[in-house]
């Protein structure tokens, strides 16, 4: 009987999910540009390498403290983070997001 190798799939990171989320973001260009800047300048340097589930499970006050010292547009960063996490939660509840595998559709396409 053959032994199948155990395949270890790394968890989806916040960076991977947010990139897919932004790609599906359908809104006006100025808002998209604000969110792109917020991701690049504020969110990804702090949260990018973390597993998405860890960010979802984190204390929101702690996340705000961690992001508070990174400069840039604080309101855009917090709004973008909130929308990303909201969409991830909806996808988890709907069963359309497997956080143990590479991200597929990513976001509701706001």
7 dihedral zone (left: phi>0; alpha: psi -120 to 50; beta): beta
- What phi, psi does 19 have (nearest 5°)? -65, -40
What confidence tens digit (pLDDT) does each residue in 44-96 have? Answer: 999 999 999 999 999 988 888 888 766 678 889 999 999 999 999 999 998 88
Rg (CA), the chain: 15
Q: Is the pTM of the predicted complex or chain greater than 0.95?
A: no
Domain boundaries, the chain: 18-94
């Amino acid at each position: 009987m053959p032994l199948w190798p155990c395949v270890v799939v790394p968890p989806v990171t916040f960076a991977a999910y947010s990139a897919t989320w932004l790609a599906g973001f359908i809104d006006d260009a100025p808002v998209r540009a604000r969110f792109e800047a917020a991701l690049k300048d504020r969110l990804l340097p702090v949260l990018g390498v973390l597993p998405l589930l860890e960010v979802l499970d984190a204390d929101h006050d702690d996340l705000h403290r961690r992001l508070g010292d990174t400069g840039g547009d604080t309101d855009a960063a917090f709004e973008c983070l909130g929308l990303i996490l909201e969409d991830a939660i909806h996808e988890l509840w709907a069963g359309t997001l497997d956080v143990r595998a590479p991200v597929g559709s990513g976001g509701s396409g706001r």
